[in-house]
Amino acid sequence: MPDEKQPESSSPARELDRRAFFAKIGLGSLGIAAAGTAAFAYQFLSPNVLYEPSPIINVGKPESFAVDSVTLDANSGIYLVRAAEGFFALNAICTHLGCLTTWNQELNIIACPCHGSKFNRNGEKIEGPAPKPLPWLRTWVSDEGNLMVDRSTNIHPLQFLRI
């Protein structure tokens, strides 16, 4: 670095000498190469194709759910709730650190086994470390008459699906 400052301190009029010029060129190209390598590494490490299950789930016929029932689909991590107002789906993954919650019929709550977060049937937080309520998921009825849930799309709470 002192080499670069030398021209300014010794004589302002003095031009960049050959050694300092090539040092700058060299460092500059190394910098560009390093930035390119970082970008390359980031792109390489981010998979473009994921073999993960589809976010859209077919939960079956609406008639198969009793009124005032909460059904956990452990494989897809969602609750299908049939309330008096209609159907809705909740994400069953705890908003704290991603554990799978369970429905407790006796206490009428959703509880997380990992750190003790508790939610009511509408996904609202009752207690525990969870920072947010369980999100409501977009739910609709397919042309075949099946209930469909999109795990990747959150909706505002209390939007019941009436059939």
Partner 1 sequence: MPGKTDKLIEQVEHSRVWRSIFRSGTGTSTLHRALAIQQNVFLHLFSNKVRKRMLSVSSTWYLGTLTFGTFLILIVTGVLLMLYYHPSVPQAYADMKDLQFVVSSGLFLRNLHRWSAQAMVFLVFAHMFKVFYRGAYRAPREFNWVIGVMLLLITLLLSYTGYLLPWDQLAYWAITVGSNISSAVPLVGSKIHFLLLGGNQVNANALLRFYVLHCVILPLTALLFVAVHFWRIRKDGGLYVQQSEPKKLAAPDDAVLAKEAK
Residue among 72, 114, 141, 161 that touches partner 1 (CB under 8 A): 114
**Residues with Cβ < 8 Å from 156, sequence gap 6 or more?**
136
Is residue 84 within the footprint of partner 1 (CB under 8 A)? no
Rounded Cα distance, 24 and 58, in Å: 61
Minimum Å gap between C-beta 66 and partner 1 is 30
Give the contact letters, 28-67, x = binds to partner 1 (CB under 8 A), - = no: --------------x--xxx--xxx---------------
Pick the closer one to partner 1 by CB: 113 or 145.
Answer: 113
- Distance set, CA 82 to CA 34, 86, 110 (Å): 56, 6, 15
Place of tokens 């009428």: 108
Compute the least distance from the CB of residue 127 to partner 1, in Å.
19
Name the nearest CA neighbour of 55 among 76, 74, 41, 38.
Answer: 76
The Cα 81–Cα 83 span in angstroms is 6
The Cα 3–Cα 157 span in angstroms is 64
Site stretch for partner 1 (CB under 8 A), options 10-18, 68-76, 97-105, 137-145: 97-105
Smallest gap from residue 52 Cβ to partner 1 (A): 6
Q: Which residues here bind partner 1, judged by CB under 8 A?
A: 42, 45-47, 50-52, 96-99, 114
